[in-house]
Amino acid sequence: MNDLGDISDPDELSTISPKRKNPKGKPSKNLYKDILMKSPDIKYEDLVTNLSKALGLGRETISKTIAEYRRTNTVTSPNKKRVKSSLFDKIDDLDRNGLRQKVHLFWLRRELPTIDKILIAVNEDPSLPNFKRSTLYSTIKKLDFVFEKSKRCSVLTEREDLIVWRRNYLYNIRKYRQEGQQIYYLDETWLNTGDCVDRVWKDNTVLSKHDAFNKGLTTGSTNPTGKGKRLIILHIGSDKGFLPEWFEAILPRLEPNAIIVMDNAPYHSVKLEKYPSTRWNEAQLSEWLQSKGVILDRPFLKHELMAKVREIPRNKSYVIDKIAEDAGHTVLRLPPYHCEFNPIELAWAMVKGYVKRENTTFKIYDVRQLLHTTIEKVTSENWQNFIKHVIEEEEKIWKVDDIMDELIETLCFNNNGRH
């Protein structure tokens, strides 16, 4: 099959079975036979090219299919179902945060939120997507909101562990500020080379694009149809501005005993220790258990070993936390779905807005240069304003939690008191 010379010889051609009507999803078999019958001397490379163009499949897929057919005299068609993405997958973190804030606003007004009330508030906001009731309900649930029920009391609130995480974060960040510890905020974002701001210029003397063409006018450079290459941006900053390098290289440059705020992205959450799974064999499980001081005084089945593994508390320490700790710093992790607690998000909005306004070439080198220029334009004064805004958001959420706790307690007490 890998020979790029003639694909077949007379003996091989004589064994090609006649065409049959294929079941749905298997058109390649007949086309393969057609090409070989019409062009018995076709080279393998040309055959793959012709099949690829005709079927709209990649060359690698075609090569694997030919190899399978010549080996088994049949072609299997993987029954792949298209996974339909939900609206939750399509909206970004800012939209998700916007939905959460809509719910919180009801609590701030000391009003119990319901799906119907939230639906009206969200669909009236032009900055948020429009939802159907069922879609909003499923999205709200994915944001870890739950209906807390107690007899006849049913209230839309948030998952208990998320509330506890948020409360602990707010308590700790307040404490660190009061102690005068330097706080740095770490985050990442991305920027497409095709990103730009759509500009609209209105001239009443120009009636249409065709009229503009006839007058020798242009409406400006055309935006690219695709997004192009993407730059991934990682950075860290404080009330003194952005810092110029990255994590391990930058740790010595931080002020002593600093606090580093970051989210829970997978690359921030690599565990220090790999926890056993059912994919481990008995020897690996036994070795791990013995390293934890477990005495194995007889042969154990894999199920028995896994049961012993589950008795040992998981080590929740992360690699990046340990690196920071070894350098004398502390990592403070943001609660999920709370990007408004990170002032670097406002810095990213400023940076990306400038790049989009100035991006005219859509070339990665030029976009990278714009990016560096813009980051230098974000001053310590900007950062101080970003942090001030975040502190206001923190105070608001602290108040939301207090009100939510009070109203739920009162409502449930009143309902229980009726009996």
- Cβ distance 267 to 191 under 8 Å? no
- Centre a 10 Å sphere on the Cβ of residue 69 and count the other Cβ atoms it contains: 17
Provide the CATH number for the domain around residue 363: 3.30.420.10
pLDDT at residue 288 tops 70: yes
What pLDDT sits at residue 273? 84
Mean of the per-residue pLDDT values for the chain? Answer: 79
Give alpha helix (H) positions in 293-379: 302-311, 319-326, 344-358, 364-377
Per the domain annotation, does 251 fall within a domain? yes
pLDDT at residue 394 tops 80: yes
Per the domain annotation, does 309 fall within a domain? yes
Per the domain annotation, does 248 fall within a domain? yes
In which domain, by residue range, is 287 found? 283-314
DSSP class of residue 91 equals S
Residue 275, φ and ψ in degrees, nearest 5: -85, 140
Per the domain annotation, does 8 fall within a domain? no
Residues 185-228 have pLDDT tens digits of 998 888 777 766 544 334 444 444 334 444 444 444 444 445 56
Both 304 and 320 in one domain: the answer is no
What pLDDT sits at residue 144? 86
pLDDT tier for residue 47 given thresholds of 50, 70 and 90? confident
3-state secondary structure of 87: helix
Both 119 and 241 in one domain: the answer is no
Both 268 and 378 in one domain: the answer is yes
Both 196 and 310 in one domain: the answer is no
What pLDDT sits at residue 154? 67
In which region does residue 229 sit, left (phi positive, over 0), alpha (psi from -120 to 50) or beta (all else)? beta
Per the domain annotation, does 158 fall within a domain? no
Most confident of the ranges 84-88, 106-110, 211-215, 250-254: 106-110
What pLDDT sits at residue 368? 87
Interacting residues of 328 by C-beta distance below 8 A, sequence separation 6+: 256, 257
Residues 8-46 have pLDDT tens digits of 443 444 444 444 444 444 445 677 777 777 777 787 887
pTM for this model (two decimals):
0.68
Average the pLDDT over 282-308 and give the result: 91
> Is the sign of the CA dihedral 12, 13, 18, 24 positive or negative?
positive
State CA 334 to chain mean position distance.
Answer: 16
pLDDT tier for residue 272 given thresholds of 50, 70 and 90? confident
What pLDDT sits at residue 416? 58
Both 293 and 361 in one domain: the answer is no
| Residue 278 structure tokens | 């059912």
**Domains identified in the chain, total number:** 4
| Integer angstrom CA distances of residue 244 from 241, 248, 268, 321 | 10, 12, 20, 21
pLDDT tier for residue 230 given thresholds of 50, 70 and 90? confident
To the nearest whole percent, how much of the chain has pLDDT over 90?
A: 33
Both 345 and 394 in one domain: the answer is yes
Both 369 and 397 in one domain: the answer is yes
23-32, 87-96, 149-158, 238-247: segment of lowest average pLDDT: 23-32
Both 192 and 54 in one domain: the answer is no
Both 250 and 393 in one domain: the answer is yes
3-state secondary structure of 6: strand
Both 307 and 189 in one domain: the answer is no
Both 379 and 231 in one domain: the answer is yes
Per the domain annotation, does 154 fall within a domain? no
What pLDDT sits at residue 7? 41
Both 111 and 230 in one domain: the answer is no
With 0-12 / 13-18 / 19 or more C-beta atoms within 10 angstroms meaning exposed / middle / buried, residue 290 is exposed
DSSP class of residue 24 equals T
pLDDT at residue 390 tops 90: yes
Per the domain annotation, does 149 fall within a domain? no
pLDDT at residue 156 tops 90: no
Stated as kind and residue range, the H or E segment containing 186 is: strand 183-192
Per the domain annotation, does 52 fall within a domain? yes
